[in-house]
Structure 1
Amino acid sequence: MDKNQFTGLFLIMLIMVGSFFLLKPSAEEVKKEQLRQHNDSLRRASITRASNAKPTANAAAAPTVDSAVLKGPFGGAISGTEQLITLENKDVRLKVSTHGGRIYSVELKNYKTFDKKPLILFDGPQNHFGIKLNAGGKSFNTDELYFTPTTPQPANGALTMRLNYSPTQYIDYVYNVGAEGFKVGFDVKPVGMDGVISSKELTLNWASSLHKLEKDIHMERQYSTVYYHDVDGNVDYLSEGKDDSKAIGSDAKKLNWVSFKQHFFSSVLISKNGYKRSNLAVSTDVVSSDIKQMKADLAISPDASGAYPFEFYFGPNQFSVLKAQGNDLEKQINLGWGPLKYINRFAVIPVFNFLRQFNWGYGLIILVLTILLKLVLFPLTYKSYLSMAKMRVLKPEMDEIKGKVGEDNPTLLQQEYMKLYRQAGVNPLGGCLPLLLQMPIVIAFFRFFPSLFELRGQSFLWMHDLSTYDALVTFAPLPLVGWNHISLMCLLMTISTLIITYFNNQTSGATGQMKYIGYISPLIFFGVLNSYPAGLNYYYFLANMITFLQQIFIRQLVDDKKIHAQIQDNKKKPEAKKKKGGFSAKLEEMMRQQQAQQSQQPKKK
């Protein structure tokens, strides 16, 4: 052996010895490997026992591994492959995922999005539905575990997803749908889990990112938020216009249901036992194409059998449909505040549903509804016009008073005007009060039409969808206002309002600033209503046109000469026989006091 060979062999031995010490596993790694081999042997033994055991009525057909001998509690359900199982009826199609056992997506089969695509309320991994529980000293969420269907396919509208803990211990998610309808039965049934789950009161985490379904995402967001209903029958909701959250917690103030409400569709979770405590939240991610993200953390308790019974509602926000479901679901349709909701619920909706029975187009239904409303309000319209006519007849005398008193002393001028009104028997507010009495109905329709599901997708004339705006022209969004279109029906409504304002000024004889103030309001309304439903602007347009025709008719009945003669007769009556309204008396007394204070002030030199 020469020198070079010896050197080579020595280096090889050196490398082998060094590798032995450098790559030697640590004591901790040796223990882990021994534990792994031990668990593998236990797993094989457990599978053998399970395969030899006789199947029971509550056990799955496939052999189940006791999770306790694997990776701890629910060890066999920690990993798996996601599969989607379809459960459907005539109205809804659900896809239930083995990952979390949850409803992965909901499709309403008889409806389409604004662009004629399948209407899917939600889907995808950004949606969550799981129950938090503690087992074996560890915290779990069923949304992260893998379930197994007890049968390969749903049978008779029923599907059971099972979360295995051991062959005799598991949690079942039981889904049921009827032959038709929008309700889905959902029961959570723990079996043999009393000694495993540390508490019977659990927390249900429900979160959903709701898809854009309508043409105008800004309007859709404006009418979408989280609604909730308590045991006393009260319905409330989080803010519609901004991110909001609320904690509700007391045994005496349980919630019956929580709804992720969109503009025209809702996902509602109804608890038959009630939610003791709730944390609700809604937010808008402007980067996302979805309308809003909604979340609910709900404290749930079992019934006498140990189960947790629920019901889902996935369907339209149509008043009659929601009311038929029970549980006051129709109260999540926002019909306005205070008396407005009662006007809409007990007057407008019944009349609207009555007209629907004739199977007319919705353009004709709105026309007839407007005519009926204007007929009911005709006495107020007549009284308002008559009052404006009296003010017009008095205008020459008012101008004469103004010429004598001058404009330097407005308090004295108004005092003289009030004296003239009292002598003539004219109420200066007579033209405004009838209009104010009509305002609740006008505002009620402002809430009614945007919430009216029946208008969705219905066309009339050039308007392809009465539930959204009808764009005459579109353009890049304007700074500040954000408009990207001009609504033709809103434009016609504004023009008709300006025409009505012009004729009202002619009737009342308004001059100066009062003459032009009336022209500003229609322009403001145009800015507000440009993105509102064409059906609402169509109603306002019809109301203006009918009002205009009513005024032409009333003008034929009202004779200015007779009004002037009546005013002169009132002026001849003794003061004691003239009625003095409470408001007029207070106003006149206030002006008299103000005039006295001004007369006592020292004059400036």
Structure 2
Amino acid sequence: MDKNTLVGFVLIGTVLIGFSIYNRPSKEDLEQAHHYQDSIQAIQKEQSNKVDVEVQKDSISYTQIVADSTSAFYSSLKGTEQEISLENNLIQLKLSNKGGTPQEAILKSYKDQNGQPLVVFDKKDIQMDFSIDGKNENILTNNLYFTPTNVTDSTVTMRLQINGGGTLDFNYKLLKDSYVLNFSIQANNMQNFFPSASKSINLNWHQKIRHQEKGYSFEQRYTALTYKRSGHDSNKLSEGRDANKEIEDALDWIAFKGQFFSTIWIAHQDFNNTILNSKVLAENSGYMKEYNANMTTSFDPTGKEPTNMQMYIGPNRFNTLKATNKICAAASPKSLELQDLVYLGWPIVRLINRYFTIPLFDWLSGWGLSMGIVLLLMTFIVKSIVYPATYKSYMSSAKMRALKPYMDKINEKYPNKDDALKKQQEMMSLYSQYGVSPMGGCLPMLVQMPVFMALFFFVPNAIELRQQSFLWASDLSAYDDVINWGTNLPIIGNHLSLFCVLFSASSLLNTYISMKMQDPMGQQQQMPAMKWMMYLMPLMFFFIFNTYSSGLNYYYFISGLISIITMVILRKTTDEKKLLAKLETNKVKIQADRTAKGSRGGMMAKLEALKKEQERIEAERQKTLKNKH
């Protein structure tokens, strides 16, 4: 804020304060106002047939003044709150007749951190309000009492009785062996209640996401309000800060997502005019975020076409969400792509995870092994697949080490920094003569990077690792705090993760061995800053990954250990003298091929042309200096 702006705010504030003091009511005015207020209260007490209904939406509070017994909802304004339970083998839902919406969801196959059945939300956490504009008064369902009808273990109709015979029905059906709740809204004999222009119903959905996992900051990274535009990929609000967004496009679904569990509203007639809000909550509040979504969807006041929606209340498991797409397809042909809630990384990394990592993980998990052994086997399989690239990268560095005697001679020939270009040219010429590429070790390493990154995105999102113990780690989806001092310290936090320490140590050793093996030109001495940067990376890994899941650190530790063992074995089994002899043979063959063609092509020709041009420029420079003297 600049000086002028600050002065402006001060002046405005001064004027407002002065104006309020000047217009402050006198003592007589206050007494008259109190007398008037007492009269109003007396009248309201006499008119007991008038009811005030106060509705709280997000942070906006408004009051609907409902008329007396002529109101269409007079009989629904009073009642006794009761719960109706729907359940199958996976989930138990409790709905309240007050408001007619779900107020509690319990997942039977999952446990919370205390070993109790996992509660996704209860009445303290969630609020759903529907509103529809009428001719004379609006329907605001929050404080209206519905009558439960057609009640079974998996179905119920919450019926709102309208004076005059009409009804508004909320129809619920919990699908068998599924986390999906079918939901429809249908008006019956209410044509005269709604204006002819009424075509939509408004839904305001408010929910707090519970802190379900071990470790606040790590869980926060994967907790985000997510939505999908019709015909587009899904998107999300910021995970790390408060966020608001108004969306004009039609939406297929909105998900209030936690790290491993979500509540999703699916609109088969689209959500429109959507306003989304996400608020980060304090670490010790028992919650991660507070979400709010306000949107409209299609509504037929004649009752011919019901408003169809579905709710998914369950785990963020890739295969479960993918199967849910097919279940929802029975109600709508939309391509929902609910599995996008499980974030699998950037496009190429996502493809690797979707068509390789997940099938491999599911296959190994199907053997009934512990998740620690599954991750171990996955690591061996992945390292075996990338071994050809690893071997090619190693052999490229081995060939350069074999040529080191020739490189040393070139370094001795050009000791001055002014001759760096000439030295580089001769080095490149040497590589070309022996058929060695200095970039030969880089490309194979780049090929391995997407696979390395794929596990980085997959493991923290794998709900199968949740609460699975291995060795000293009690939960592979969270950090393994072998030492916990209870107080958050800058950068490191309140604990020490042993798998993270092992990963960082193996990374440090891996760096040391790699730099010893792959530095035939002595670049470490020439660029000491790069050397220390390489050694600094493992230390950075420790501070970054200390709060990450132990399963991820365990995978990277085993992967690094295998890399070290592989390099040591390759070094022991590689005879650099024999390798140099092969290179000498290769040099003769390359020269013979070039002689047979009558010219030198490719990189060698360019290097020689560059060398001649450099020599010409140097000769002219020397000639100019001589003429001056």
Normalised TM-score (structure 2): 0.79
Alignment of 1:9-408 (within 5 A): 36=47, 69-70=68-69, 72-143=71-142, 145-151=143-149, 154-198=151-195, 199-232=198-231, 234-250=233-249, 254-286=250-282, 288-302=285-299, 305-326=304-325, 327-408=336-417
Residue 486 of structure 1: how far off its partner (Å): 1.3
- Distance in 1, Cα, partners of 2:36 & 2:253: 61
Alignment of 1:544-559 (within 5 A): 544-559=560-575
- Distance in 1, Cα, partners of 2:207 & 2:379: 40
- Distance in 2, Cα, partners of 1:591 & 1:348: 53
The size of the alignment, in residue pairs, is 548
Residue 262 of structure 1: how far off its partner (Å): 1.0
What is the identity, as a one-letter code, of the residue corresponding to 1:382?
Y
Alignment of 1:454-473 (within 5 A): 454-473=464-483
What is the identity, as a one-letter code, of the residue corresponding to 1:183?
V
Partner of 1:449: 459
- Distance in 2, Cα, partners of 1:425 & 1:234: 47
Q: Helix, strand or coil for the counterpart of 2:287?
A: coil
- Distance in 1, Cα, partners of 2:617 & 2:553: 50
Q: What RMSD, in angstroms, separates the aligned Cα atoms of the two structures?
A: 3.5
- Distance in 2, Cα, partners of 1:277 & 1:24: 42
Partner of 1:16: none
What is the identity, as a one-letter code, of the residue corresponding to 1:210?
I
Q: Helix, strand or coil for the counterpart of 2:238?
A: coil
- Distance in 2, Cα, partners of 1:172 & 1:389: 76
Residue 79 of structure 1: how far off its partner (Å): 5.0
CA displacement 1:330-358 (0-9 Å, x = unmatched):
12110001111000001111111112221
- Distance in 2, Cα, partners of 1:316 & 1:97: 24
Partner of 1:562: 578
User: Residues 342 and 599 of structure 1: is their aligned pair in 2 closer, same or farther, counting only changes over 3 Å?
Assistant: farther
Residue 404 of structure 1: how far off its partner (Å): 2.7
8 Å Cα contact 2:210-2:287 kept in structure 1: yes
User: Residues 431 and 32 of structure 1: is their aligned pair in 2 closer, same or farther, counting only changes over 3 Å?
Assistant: closer
Q: Helix, strand or coil for the counterpart of 1:100?
A: coil
- Distance in 1, Cα, partners of 2:275 & 2:425: 59
What is the identity, as a one-letter code, of the residue corresponding to 1:84?
E
- Distance in 2, Cα, partners of 1:583 & 1:126: 71
CA displacement 1:227-257 (0-9 Å, x = unmatched):
223332632222223322332224xxx3222
8 Å Cα contact 1:73-1:136 kept in structure 2: no
What is the identity, as a one-letter code, of the residue corresponding to 1:104?
Q
Partner of 1:520: 536
What is the identity, as a one-letter code, of the residue corresponding to 2:319?
S
Partner of 2:27: none
User: Residues 320 and 583 of structure 1: is their aligned pair in 2 closer, same or farther, counting only changes over 3 Å?
Assistant: farther
What is the identity, as a one-letter code, of the residue corresponding to 1:335?
L
User: Residues 418 and 476 of structure 1: is their aligned pair in 2 closer, same or farther, counting only changes over 3 Å?
Assistant: farther
Partner of 1:63: none
- Distance in 1, Cα, partners of 2:605 & 2:137: 76
Q: Decide which of 426, 451, 474 is 1:416's aligned counterpart.
A: 426
Partner of 2:15: none
8 Å Cα contact 2:72-2:163 kept in structure 1: no
Partner of 1:434: 444
8 Å Cα contact 1:149-1:159 kept in structure 2: no
Partner of 1:534: 550
- Distance in 1, Cα, partners of 2:415 & 2:40: 104
- Distance in 1, Cα, partners of 2:123 & 2:324: 28
8 Å Cα contact 2:429-2:604 kept in structure 1: no
Residue 590 of structure 1: how far off its partner (Å): 12
Residue 552 of structure 1: how far off its partner (Å): 3.3
- Distance in 2, Cα, partners of 1:500 & 1:393: 22
User: Residues 391 and 169 of structure 1: is their aligned pair in 2 closer, same or farther, counting only changes over 3 Å?
Assistant: same
Unaligned runs of 5+ in 1: 1-22, 41-66
8 Å Cα contact 2:228-2:235 kept in structure 1: yes
User: Residues 71 and 406 of structure 1: is their aligned pair in 2 closer, same or farther, counting only changes over 3 Å?
Assistant: farther
Q: Helix, strand or coil for the counterpart of 2:493?
A: coil
Residue 179 of structure 1: how far off its partner (Å): 4.5
User: Residues 564 and 311 of structure 1: is their aligned pair in 2 closer, same or farther, counting only changes over 3 Å?
Assistant: same
Q: Helix, strand or coil for the counterpart of 1:379?
A: helix
8 Å Cα contact 1:415-1:591 kept in structure 2: no
8 Å Cα contact 1:157-1:176 kept in structure 2: yes
Q: Helix, strand or coil for the counterpart of 2:255?
A: strand
Residue 308 of structure 1: how far off its partner (Å): 1.1
Alignment of 1:567-582 (within 5 A): 567-571=583-587, 573-574=590-591, 576=594
Partner of 2:512: 502
What is the identity, as a one-letter code, of the residue corresponding to 2:511?
T
Q: Helix, strand or coil for the counterpart of 2:319?
A: helix
- Distance in 1, Cα, partners of 2:602 & 2:565: 32
- Distance in 2, Cα, partners of 1:277 & 1:311: 19
8 Å Cα contact 1:411-1:595 kept in structure 2: no
User: Residues 560 and 169 of structure 1: is their aligned pair in 2 closer, same or farther, counting only changes over 3 Å?
Assistant: same
- Distance in 2, Cα, partners of 1:345 & 1:390: 37
- Distance in 2, Cα, partners of 1:225 & 1:591: 61
Q: Which moved more, 1:255-264 or 1:207-216?
A: 255-264
- Distance in 2, Cα, partners of 1:591 & 1:111: 74
Residue 485 of structure 1: how far off its partner (Å): 1.1
Q: Which moved more, 1:589-598 or 1:134-143?
A: 589-598
- Distance in 1, Cα, partners of 2:556 & 2:604: 32
- Distance in 1, Cα, partners of 2:490 & 2:37: 68
Q: Decide which of 425, 439, 453 is 2:435's aligned counterpart.
A: 425
8 Å Cα contact 1:73-1:135 kept in structure 2: no
User: Residues 25 and 243 of structure 1: is their aligned pair in 2 closer, same or farther, counting only changes over 3 Å?
Assistant: closer
Q: Which moved more, 1:471-480 or 1:208-217?
A: 471-480
User: Which protein is bigger by CA-based radius of gyration?
Assistant: 1
Identity %: 33
Residue 193 of structure 1: how far off its partner (Å): 2.5
Q: Helix, strand or coil for the counterpart of 1:105?
A: strand
Q: Helix, strand or coil for the counterpart of 1:188?
A: strand
- Distance in 2, Cα, partners of 1:323 & 1:96: 27
Q: Helix, strand or coil for the counterpart of 2:162?
A: strand
Q: Which moved more, 1:362-371 or 1:84-93?
A: 84-93
